[in-house]
Structure 1
Amino acid sequence: MARRSRSTKTQPDPPDLPPRFDAAPGPPADGDLWDGVEAGPGIVFPEHVADLRLHECRIRGVDLSGRSLGGLHCRDTEFVNCDLSGAQLDDTVFQRVTFTDCRLTGTELNGAGLTDVRISGCRADLVRLRMAKGTFLHVEDTTLRGADLYRFTASGCAFLRCDLGEASIEDARLAGTDLHGSGVDDLRGPLALQGCRIGPEQLVSVGALMLAAMGVQITER
């Protein structure tokens, strides 16, 4: 009997959201579980919330800027038009989560685990993903100038049509990552691009970065 071929996964799995949501019960407290909840701009998060769990939630237009959310666990959740600039989200866990039209400038995601996460149309300059792990993390049409991906580990990831100018990828493991349409001007640590996929129009800029990183000098004879 011939074996059926299994399709190879190429995209993040989307959040599994309920057909309707309950209203947010109020500002979250340490250790709270929100399950099937929708929160809007009227919900004010405290400056510090520990071990919050968001399962099958929609967070829309909420100001999370500068908040410290240690131990945050998000599953099957979407963030839309939220401000997470400067938020402390180190070591958080995201599984089947989307960020759409959000502000992630300077967001701290060091050591985070991001599985089946899509970030689209966002502003994420100076975002920090040091020693984070992305599994089917797809970032699209997003600015990441000056982002810090030191020792970031990627599997099935993509940065499509993004601005990665002056971002740092020192010691990152990016083999197999798709970078089509993304700007890489002044990218730091370009040797970590080994095994990535780029488009023909990126060949000159990536080639120049690699030659400079290897100390190759182009001079007149």
Structure 2
Amino acid sequence: MVSDSLIGQRSSTRRREFLIEPRARMEPMARREFDDPSPREPVGPRGVEDLRGEDLMRLAMEDEARIEGVELTGALAPGVVARGVTIEETRVRGSLAGAKLHDLHLHDAELVGADLANLDLTKGHIDRVVFTDCRLTGAQLIETTIKDVVFVGCRLDFAVLAEARLDRVRFTKCELREISLEGAQLRDVRFESCDLSRATLDRSRHQRVLLEGCRLESVRSLQDLRGAAMPWPDVVDQAEAFAAALGIAVARDPEEDA
């Protein structure tokens, strides 16, 4: 016979085998990625120091060219067309206006007072770049990837960013009138004190996008701004534009007609 003490020991063993220890107490985890609507800040450029001077006019801008460690001044020759150019760890103070640089790779760079009007960067890649007081009027950034980029005091009026991807981008005090963001994907993008009058937003998508102190007069497809955030005073200021986008008429106060 098996003794009662042995049976009790086996039962106790079985209970221990199936005993689930209580889960260790865990500290509350930050859920910023999912809960905080604030855009994440861009990462700045690296290696933009100890640069040697280079005149853009003398630069051989050809397919697959690689330019690095220089400060570019002057103006690029008119009518330049090149594909797959890489520019990195560089500062640009000159003019690239009108150039066609499809599939450009611009990394770790500073552009200060540069003239980039009508520059065509279709399907380009811009990463860790700061644009300060630059002119990008009419620039073509169609299907361009723009990541960790800051625009300060720049003009991008009439610029085309159709189907572009913007990730961790900040626009501060920029002229964005009639800019096209049609079909663009914006994630972690901040607009501060910018003029977006008559901008085109058709089919644009927004995730953690913040607009502060911006003008939105006559914006096309304003309803496609869904997913973006604005401070309450800004929402109130833009009430007329939002009402117009929704087809809501503003009723008159009878006392005003009296």
**TM-score of the aligned structures, taking structure 2 as reference length:** 0.78
Q: Which residue of 2 aligns with 1:215?
A: 247
SS at match of 1:176: strand
Larger Rg belongs to: 2
Counterpart of 1:103 (choices 124, 129, 135) is: 135
Q: Which residue of 2 aligns with 1:23?
A: 53
The correspondence of residues 1-20 of structure 1 with structure 2, limited to 5 A, is 10-20=40-50
Q: Is the 8 A contact 2:48 2:108 kept in 1?
A: no
Q: Is the 8 A contact 1:104 1:125 kept in 2?
A: yes
Deviations 1:51-108 (A, max 9, x none): 1101111111x11111111111011011111111111111110010111110010100
Q: Is the 8 A contact 2:171 2:192 kept in 1?
A: yes
Q: Which residue of 1 aligns with 2:95?
A: 63
Q: Which residue of 2 aligns with 1:143?
A: 175
**TM-score of the aligned structures, taking structure 1 as reference length:** 0.90
Give aligned-pair identity as a percent.
27
Label 1:201 to 1:69 Cα distance change in 2 as closer, same or farther (>3 A). Answer: same
Deviations 1:18-75 (A, max 9, x none): 4311333841222111121221126647521221101111111x11111111111011
Deviations 1:169-209 (A, max 9, x none): 11111232111011111111111222212123322343333
- Structure 2: stretches of 5+ with no match in the other structure: 1-25, 34-38
Structure 2 counterpart of 1:101, which letter? Answer: D
Q: Is the 8 A contact 2:116 2:136 kept in 1?
A: yes
State the distance in 2 between where 1:81 and 1:180 align: 24
State the distance in 2 between where 1:199 and 1:215 align: 23
Counterpart of 1:53 (choices 86, 90, 99) is: 86
Q: Is the 8 A contact 1:184 1:205 kept in 2?
A: no
The correspondence of residues 150-189 of structure 1 with structure 2, limited to 5 A, is 150-189=182-221
Label 1:214 to 1:18 Cα distance change in 2 as closer, same or farther (>3 A). Answer: closer
* Cα offset, 1:159, TM superposition: 1.0
Per residue, is there more helix in 1 or in 2?
A: 2
Does 2:124 align with 1:92?
yes
* Cα RMSD (Å): 2.3
